[in-house]
Amino acid sequence: MGRKSFFGALIICVIAWACSQNPITGRNQLNLVSEAELQSLAKQEYVQFLNENKVVNANSSRDAEMVRRVGSRIATAVTNYYNSQNLGGELAGYQWEYNLVNNPEANAWCMPGGKIVVYTGILPITQNEAALAAVVGHEVAHAVAKHGSERMSQGLIQQLGGVALGVALSNRSQETQALFNNLYGIGSQVGYTLPHSRNQELEADKLGLRYMALAGYNPREAVALWQRMKAQSNGSRPPEFISTHPAEDRRISQLNSIMEETIKNYYRPVK
């Protein structure tokens, strides 16, 4: 076996070993970075992010209070849903946190372990609490469906190849940390965010719609939200949220195609 094909085989072995089926989505995922590792990175990066950004006080701001309320309702809905499917263990280590930061970018994210940030710049587009729940539900879906690990694994393979990959995974390397930050758009390379794949986006839309409905928010608001996002994306400053979330038309048509089923099976309006 030549040197090249040896490393090729090595990569395939690593990939086969690291593939696992996601119990909620049923899809096989590549997970070279463990959930525990990601949660530990997330904890550290979240604290740093909050220190370096202006966190809006939830005791004196109605918007920040709303972010906390939406976050906790979505978190409760997701936790209850996983428990009802006997999958509570999938959320082991989750310690949910919700913060609004003063930042003009239209963005939001949820790191593994339930660390949520909403940027004030997205509020003029969400406009109401249910649409904010659509954004948070979508980001939480990325986290609990373990899309971060999957995306980082693909990024590690692309960037490092076989040999360096082994080294990068054997200790908590700078490459892992840099990729992680890029995934959430908080890295030192400004403007570079590791995009999610189309599969992951459609999955996050579908699950996010379910979670907002379970949390008592009208899922129809998700469609209205994406229409507003689409209108903004034609403007001079497209939302950051859109740049990693392409193809609004396809997204809207998928949401419409699962709307009635989601409402029937999951929507429990809060009285």
Catalytic residues: 139
Nearer to Zn ion among residue 146 and residue 196 (C-beta): 196
Q: Give the three-state DSSP class for 185.
A: coil
CA-CA-CA-CA dihedral for 48, 42, 243, 23, to nearest 10: -170
Residue with tokens 């701001």: 61
Residue 104 has what DSSP assignment? S
- Distances, alpha carbon 163 to alpha carbons 7, 156, 177, in Å: 7, 11, 18
Long-range contacts of 28-31 (CB under 8 A, 24+ apart): 29/146, 29/149, 29/150, 30/150, 30/153, 30/154, 31/146, 31/149, 31/150, 31/153
Q: CB of 147: closest distance to Zn ion in angstroms?
A: 8
Closer residue to Zn ion (CB): 195 or 216: 195
Rounded to whole angstroms, the Cα distance separating 143 from 145 reads 6
Pair 39, 96: CB distance under 8 Å: no
CA 271, CA 269: separation in Å to the nearest integer?
6
Instruction: Pick the closer one to Zn ion by CB: 14 or 136.
Output: 136
| CB nearer to Zn ion: pick between 196 and 210 | 196
* CA 190 to chain CA centroid, nearest Å: 19
Binding site for Zn ion (CB under 5 A): 196, 204, 245
Work out how close the CB of 242 gets to Zn ion at its nearest, in angstroms, rounded to a whole number.
10
Please give the structure tokens belonging to residue 155.
């990024």
Find the shortest distance in angstroms from Cβ 106 to Zn ion. 13
Cβ proximity to Zn ion: between 175 and 240 the closer is: 240
Q: Which residues contact 251 (CB under 8 A, 6 or more apart)?
A: 201, 202, 205, 226, 245
Shortest distance, position 152 Cβ to Zn ion, whole Å = 15
Least separation in angstroms between CB 270 and Zn ion: 25
